[in-house]
Amino acid sequence: MSRGHTDYVAVAPDVLIVAVEGAVEDWSAYIGAVPGKNHDKEWHLVKEDGSKLPRKVAEYYFPSWKELRWRD
């Protein structure tokens, strides 16, 4: 995984979860509402203003990210 990597998953047409890698090989994930018209262009809205998820929930959606340290 490259530094600064992001990934997202749609849990509803207008709700995304976004995983964000930090600068020191850590990560966190955020959930938020989006217009639902183009997720490839909307995920950054959740990255910037979404609500941080608990670690266990984030790991459910992004299991391969477990190798990184969780950002508290």
Asked if residue 69 is part of any domain, the answer here is no
pLDDT score for 40: 97
How large is the average pLDDT for residues 25-54?
Answer: 97
Range of the domain at 22: 1-52
Q: Domains in the chain: how many in total?
A: 1
Tokens 């609500």 locate to: 51
Instruction: Kindly state whether residue 17 falls inside one of the protein's structural domains.
Output: yes
pTM of this prediction? 0.92
Q: Round to whole Å and give the CA distance between 30 and 72.
A: 13
- Would 67 be classed as within a structural domain? no
- What average pLDDT score do residues 2-25 get? 91
Segment 15-26 shows an average pLDDT of 94
Residue 3: inside a domain: yes
60 lies in some domain = no
The pLDDT value given to residue 1: 47
